[in-house]
Amino acid sequence: MRILFLGDVVGKPGREAVQRHLPSLRARWNLDCVVINGENSAGTIGITEAICNEFIDAGADAVTLGNHSWDQREALVFIEREHRLIRPANFSKGTPGRGSALVEARDGRRVLVINLIGRVYMGLADDPFVEIERQIAACPLGAGCDAMLIDMHAEATSEKQAMAHFVDGRASIVVGTHTHVPTADHHILAGGTAYLTDAGMCGDYDSILGCEKTAPMHRFLHSTPSGRFEVPDGEATLCGFAVETDDKTGLAKACWAVRIGPMLETSLPKGWE
């Protein structure tokens, strides 16, 4: 199975990059499943129903979130009716929405998409390791699903790596989000799980984490409020993680970083064109 994950979409430039590239990539790369992290897609914070629908219309099978899940208040409502929008599974019990979704791939196979949020430097959340055990027990790879993707939305590299090793051999993919900077450590762990510490962002890299540079720089240079962060209007680079899984085991066979656009060196999956 060919699975593409796209990192945090930041504002209008990121949304435009998804709309520009994803429909053709689905066809050219013969993709079976696409997952997008959309928690920064409305400006720099949160997601709206209209934007979520844009992603799905462009070819996404599921949209994950993170610490900005509720920054657009409407998300608290429409997440209840949109099963393809997934917030962190280890949010407190009673939080609206769901933390995982079993989505249907192009050929009818089942992909379990799970969203988790870290606890190091990220605020209050339940234990993600306890939660992932519950999720895997309820829908194990090879029995309940044909592939399993975990979006680990976290600040600390160590916490992301720990999660990947914790589920190695029991999940197809663990991909980190949140820092908006793509890492170069994509590889397959000993047990067969594909791992990348951070997929990076789909956004304008002539920026500070996808934001226009003036306001963030003001915060570093002065001890006064800087006003609202704005999104620059430059062309975005599409960043993500491409993984090919084994049809028999559901584990990873190959993985590649994906980077398409200005500022960063282009990276594409080999043999998919």
The domain tally of the chain equals: 1
Q: pLDDT tens-digit profile of 166-220?
A: 999 999 999 999 999 999 999 999 999 999 999 999 999 999 999 999 989 998 9
Q: pLDDT tens-digit profile of 19-54?
A: 999 999 999 999 999 999 999 999 889 999 999 999
Q: pLDDT tens-digit profile of 213-243?
A: 998 999 899 988 777 889 999 999 999 999 9
- Provide the domain limits for residue 16: 2-260
Residue 16 has pLDDT above 90, yes or no: yes
Q: pLDDT tens-digit profile of 119-168?
A: 999 989 999 999 999 999 999 999 999 999 999 999 999 999 999 999 99
- In DSSP terms, 25 is beta-bridged to none
In a domain, 273, yes or no: no
- Average pLDDT over the chain reads 96
In a domain, 47, yes or no: yes
Q: Which residues does the annotation mark as catalytic?
A: 68
Domain of 74, CATH number, reads: 3.60.21.10
Instruction: Give the residue among 42, 101, 99 at the shortest CA–CA distance from 73.
Output: 42
112-to-9, 99, 179, 194 alpha-carbon distances in Å: 21, 11, 24, 15
In a domain, 265, yes or no: no
In a domain, 270, yes or no: no
In a domain, 272, yes or no: no
pLDDT computed for residue 44 by the predictor? 86
pLDDT computed for residue 224 by the predictor? 83
